[in-house]
Amino acid sequence: MRRGPAPAGRRPVGAAASRGTVRIADADPDRAPLIDPRVLSAPEDVDALVAAVELCRGIGAQPPLRDGWGARELYPASMAATVQLSRDYVRETVVTYHHQVGTCAMGRHEDAVVDPGLRVHGVAGLTVADVSVMPLVTTGNTNAPAALIGERAAEFVLAGAVRVGRHSRKENRGRRTPCPSRSPAHSERP
Phi, psi values for residue 106, rounded to 5°? -105, 140
Cα torsion angle, 80, 85, 86, 90, sign: negative
Cβ pair 12, 56 in contact under 8 A: no
**Residues linked to residue 127 through DSSP beta bridges, in sequence order:** 119
Residue 95 CA to residue 97 CA, distance in Å, equals: 7
Q: 78 to each of 8, 47, 87, how far by Cα in Å? A: 18, 18, 13
- Determine which one of 98, 99, 109, 121 is catalytic: 99
149-166: b (≥16 Cβ within 10 Å) or e? beebbebbbebbeeeeee
Cβ pair 20, 87 in contact under 8 A: no
99 catalytic, yes or no? yes
> Which residues does the annotation mark as catalytic?
99
